[in-house]
Amino acid sequence: MNIVNKKSYINKKEFIYSDSIIQYQVKNLERGNIIGPNAIVLHRTFSKGSAISLIENSWKSSRNTDNIGAHFVIDKDGTTYQVISLKKYANHLGKIRPRCALTGSCDSTYKSKTLREQYLSELKKDYPERYPYNQDSIGIEVVAWYDEK
């Protein structure tokens, strides 16, 4: 195995400069300042297209970026693009759900809350007592197409 020592660094704008990461900033995806980050969230696209088509046709040209974005996009061939500064957060996650909803352990008081009340209650918790959310996590989108065959 050959290991190549490449010089990499993070600049003042919080973009990684490396031979293996291409900077392709999409400013309209950047939100406020990130907290932490506390987590890295890995996503997989449901797309047969390339990372560039996702960035240019979906993200860069979209007028409504409320629910899209990620800090990095990894193409099928492994090419990695950084599209958002590490200082900013992206809307790569939906509203966080309580952990008890997935384990079936929510008590009746919690179950009686509206979804909005549950969401606001989760935001008050410290990580890792809750799932990560946009403001405290780095999003990585992997371009892939799931095939059951």
Residue-by-residue DSSP string for the chain:
--------EE-TT--EEBTTEEE---GGG--SB-----EEEEEE---SS-HHHIIIIIIIS-S--TT---SEEE-TTS-EEE-S-TTB----S-PPPPHHHHHT---HHHHTS-HHHHHHHHHTSPTTSS---GGGEEEEEE-------
Instruction: List the domains of the chain with CATH numbers.
Output: 18-93+132-149 (3.40.80.10), 95-131 (no CATH)
72 or 144, greater pLDDT: 72
Mean residue pLDDT of the chain comes to: 88
Residue 135: the pLDDT is 94
pLDDT in tens, 69-83: 999 999 999 999 999
pTM for the full predicted model: 0.84
Q: Does residue 98 register a pLDDT over 90? A: no
Q: How confident is the model at residue 101 (pLDDT cuts 50, 70, 90)?
A: confident
pLDDT digit string, tens, across residues 11-30: 999 999 998 999 999 999 99
Paired tokens of 121: 């209650």
